[in-house]
Amino acid sequence: MTRLLVKGIGVAGAFGTGVESFQNALAEGRVTVGSIDVATGEGVQTVPAYRADTAGLEEFVPKRALRRVDHYSKLALLGSYLALKDAEMLGADLGRIGLVIASGYGATATTYAFLDSLISGGDNCASPTHFANSVHNAAAANVAITLGIRGPSLTVSQFDMSVPSALVSARQWLAEGRVDAVLFGAIDEVSELVAYLQHRRCGPRHAVSMVPFDAGSESSIIGEGAAFLVLTRDEGGPAYCGIDSVATGNIFGGELSLPDDALLLLGADGRSELARRYLDAVPAGGKAACYTPLYGCMPAAAAFDLAAAALALKSGRAFASPAGPSLFAPGKGDVSRICSLRLAGPSEYATVVMSC
């Protein structure tokens, strides 16, 4: 399998904007959780949520050029610029670069806004601008247009498996020489719809902090943000780390095969129905970590896992899990290989193995 390198990272989330903010949050193990107000049958309710700010985008794009760009696409643009800048590729020829974006739910706020225009204005007042921006690939289109990326572009929406699934194809593009680099990213946004669904699922008493290792309780908190990576084939040169393998699919019976020499980075995110599957996946004596309490519960979080793993591998030291019980709270330890594990439903799985 073709090994890839992570050449650049661009992240925005509740922890702030950029690699440095992310690294600080990982080191401190703490992030301030925000909230969103949402209309419900019992009046306006406040739902805890990890919120991301896109003000940092003004450093890169004039406000005028963003007049039709929604929050979902702004997150993608911000992640893209940060990752390319980090890889020192801003301003370079982006002709042979591919663009791959993963999103679990797409532009949910604009999707809702389009429905709103239809419902409030009537069938002949549907907003074409909202419609055009509500398609899942609107973010990729806005990134391609703004940055002038003319290579292939792919948007994948596989709910919780969006990120690893998209990574399979990104890797193939590089393996086949279709492109020389892939701008790979994931985005999800906190919208009224997502918050309302969370409220119906978990409210009215919401968790105030995520405890992903506690299989007995529901503690998910919705999150939003963008995590982008610049990926190339492993042809040497400076990089955060390498990506050795990507595997994803369904297990119908049988066991998950996991490397025994890697730190397991669990995607557990406080959803009670998945917690047990995650904990059971850790072999006896195995080492595991989980950083989701720093960015929240969202399909795109899988890309934050990859970014966190890349930072840990670059420094050679794992970050302590922010909310681990004694069993899995690894002290800061040396690390040279990390396996990011994501699970969904009764049978879906994904592993991404990364190393120095």
By C-beta, is 136 or 206 nearer to another protein?
136
Largest CA distance in the chain: 63
For the bound state, the minimum distance from the C-beta of residue 163 to another protein, rounded and expressed in Å, comes to 11
Contacting another protein within 16-45 (CB under 8 A): 39-42
Q: Is 124 exposed, middle or buried (0-12, 13-18, 19+ CB in 10 A)?
A: exposed
Contacting another protein within 196-215 (CB under 8 A): 196-197, 200
For the bound state, the minimum distance from the C-beta of residue 186 to another protein, rounded and expressed in Å, comes to 13
Q: Is 148 in the site for another protein (CB under 8 A)?
A: yes
Residues in the chain, overall count: 356
For the bound state, the minimum distance from the C-beta of residue 59 to another protein, rounded and expressed in Å, comes to 16
Exactly one of 32, 55, 59, 175 binds another protein (CB under 8 A); that residue is 175
Q: Is 153 in the site for another protein (CB under 8 A)?
A: yes
Q: How far apart are CA 72 and CA 352, in angstroms?
A: 26
User: Site map for another protein, 309-348, x if CB under 8 A?
Assistant: ------------------------------------x--x
Phi, psi of 158 (to 5 degrees): -125, 35
Q: Is 156 in the site for another protein (CB under 8 A)?
A: yes
Q: Is 119 in the site for another protein (CB under 8 A)?
A: yes
Contacting another protein within 67-96 (CB under 8 A): 67-68
Exactly one of 17, 111, 220, 232 binds another protein (CB under 8 A); that residue is 111
User: Site map for another protein, 244-273, x if CB under 8 A?
Assistant: ----xxxxx---------------------
For the bound state, the minimum distance from the C-beta of residue 246 to another protein, rounded and expressed in Å, comes to 9
Q: Is 20 exposed, middle or buried (0-12, 13-18, 19+ CB in 10 A)?
A: exposed
By C-beta, is 151 or 225 nearer to another protein?
151
HSE (side-chain half, CA atoms, 13 Å) at 307: 36
For the bound state, the minimum distance from the C-beta of residue 272 to another protein, rounded and expressed in Å, comes to 16
By C-beta, is 124 or 326 nearer to another protein?
124
Q: Is 140 in the site for another protein (CB under 8 A)?
A: yes
Q: How far apart are CA 192 and CA 210, in angstroms?
A: 21
User: Site map for another protein, 277-316, x if CB under 8 A?
Assistant: ----------------------------------------
Stretch that binds another protein, among 16-24, 190-198, 216-224, 285-293 (CB under 8 A): 190-198
By C-beta, is 67 or 208 nearer to another protein?
67
By C-beta, is 55 or 119 nearer to another protein?
119
Residues 6+ apart with CB under 8 A from 225: 11, 12, 13, 14, 50, 52, 75, 187, 188, 295, 296, 298, 300, 304
Exactly one of 27, 33, 61, 168 binds another protein (CB under 8 A); that residue is 168
Q: How many C-beta neighbours within 10 Å does residue 54 have?
A: 21
One DSSP character per residue, 250-318 reads E-SSS-----TTSEEEE---S-HHHHHHHHHHSPTT--EE--GGGT-BSTTHHHHHHHHHHHHHHHTBP
Exactly one of 27, 33, 61, 66 binds another protein (CB under 8 A); that residue is 66
Structural contact between residues 207 and 48, judged by C-beta atoms closer than 8 angstroms: yes
Stretch that binds another protein, among 17-25, 145-153, 255-263, 303-311 (CB under 8 A): 145-153
Q: Is 138 exposed, middle or buried (0-12, 13-18, 19+ CB in 10 A)?
A: buried
Exactly one of 121, 204, 283, 325 binds another protein (CB under 8 A); that residue is 121
Does the bond joining 204 to the residue before it have cis omega, within 30 degrees of 0? yes
Q: How many C-beta neighbours within 10 Å does residue 171 have?
A: 23
